[in-house]
Amino acid sequence: MNELQQKIYNRFVQYVSIETTSDPASKSVPSTPSQILFADRLAAEMRTVGFTEVEVDEYGFVTGTLPANTDKKAPTIGFFAHMDTVCDYNGSNIHPVLHPNYDGGVLTIHEGKKMFLSPETAPSLKRCLGDDIVTADGNTLLGGDDKIGIAIIMTLAEYLTAHPEIKHGPLKAAFTIDEETGTGIGYFDVKRFAADFAYTVDGASLGEIDCGNFNADYVTIRITGKSCHPGSAKGFMANPVRIAADIISSWPEDKLPETTDGEDGFILFKDITGGLEKAEVQGIVREHDLKKFEQFKEMLTSLVEEKRAKYPAAKIEVEFKEQYRNMRDILKERPQAMQLLEAALEENHISYKLVQARGGTDGSQLSLRGLPTPNIFAGYENPHGPYEWLSLAWVEKAFHILESIAKNAVK
């Protein structure tokens, strides 16, 4: 581990020691108070590494400016990373485990639980010979998504402040709330942030650049039934549990997450609650192409209509709630962010792939609100679970991409 990697790693270990799990069921903003505590911690650190105008706003967003150190013309560039971790797996008491100088074999995450990583189960490890690999200890997720992004941005600011010979224009940082729920960035004040374009440092594998993403909605299906004694139910009972199961099983099998990849869309039915009086099905709709996305919603609406006819005694409602939209067209219309990014990748001799992400980032919503924001790899893989890992060599390359963007933007 070289000095730069050590600095980023040290910050990362400190950050993941602070639990910041977000809560999609919460009505608060941010969804959990721990995010505010972490925001205050980051704001204090930002002031020590060169940021000015540092503040934590009423929603918990942390922002600051690294002032330009040149009189030459340069755009104002923003760098984003999110503070929360996903609620799908334990995000408290995280203890990163360092595996130095990876030799290409099996990595032990937890011997007692028989939890291991290998090139067979994590093929990208084949690209990491000699790298220092970081995993969790088998009891939690790692938190690379996205606290490694925060560590990269913070270390970049410290480095540029210590090296004034590297000329750059105004750089802004924003550490955001509730990215994992898809709701936080809607409260971010894009106009006040006043950047010309930005980057989220929240991608995965080395060289993957998200310049497009799913269109995304939440979907909720509410079923109100009729309950009675099962011995006299014939011709009367409308069982919401059975109706929910019928709706889910009737959705085409080739339009599910487990049967699609690439730019293929899907509907994921992820939660069912209720009983003989009422039931609720919650899910997500995902599709890259907006026309196909609308067709998916129409298909599900038609399916629900069929079930209304099949179960006339029940009341069945379907509701869609917008989550985010594809940023691809915005980045094409305003190409400066992508031009600088691709030049930085080439300068650092990184083979890259422009990806239509099977998910979304804060950048998708920011782009559609007027701030073009592609997503840069941060160096982690297998997020949202105990098999998450990152390569510090990949992390260092992400750092140098941001450095090149900052200096090359100066004209």
Q: Catalytic residue numbers?
A: 84, 179
Q: Which residue has the tokens 């909720």?
A: 220
Q: Where are the alpha helices (DSSP H) in 196-250?
A: 240-250
Paired sense of beta strands 77-82 and 197-203, if any: parallel
Say which amino acid occupies 23.
Answer: D
Instruction: Classify residue 274 as left (phi > 0), alpha (psi -120 to 50) or beta.
Output: left
Collapsing DSSP to helix, strand or coil, 262 comes out as: coil
Alpha carbon distance 52, 248 (integer Å): 52
Alpha carbon distance 349, 346 (integer Å): 5
User: Cβ distance 230 to 110 under 8 Å?
Assistant: no
Q: Which helix (H) or strand (E) holds 330?
A: helix 328-333
User: In this structure, what token pair is assigned to residue 74?
Assistant: 């340069």
Provide the total of helices (H) and of strands (E) in the chain, helices listed first.
10, 18
User: Cβ distance 378 to 395 under 8 Å?
Assistant: yes
For the chain, the straight-line distance linking the first and the last C-alpha, in angstroms and rounded, comes to: 34
Alpha carbon distance 203, 209 (integer Å): 7
User: Cβ distance 372 to 210 under 8 Å?
Assistant: no
Rounded alpha-carbon distances, angstroms, from residue 268 to 101, 284, 287:
39, 5, 12
Q: Which residue has the tokens 């104002």?
A: 76
Q: Which residue has the tokens 């629900």?
A: 304
Dihedral sign for Cα atoms in the order 48, 49, 52, 57: negative
Alpha carbon distance 145, 288 (integer Å): 22
- On the 0-12 / 13-18 / 19+ scale of CB atoms within 10 A, 393 is buried
- Taking residue 22's Cβ as centre, other Cβ atoms within 10 Å add up to 25
Q: Pick from 288, 294, 226: which is nearest to 261 by CA?
A: 288
Residues in the chain: 411
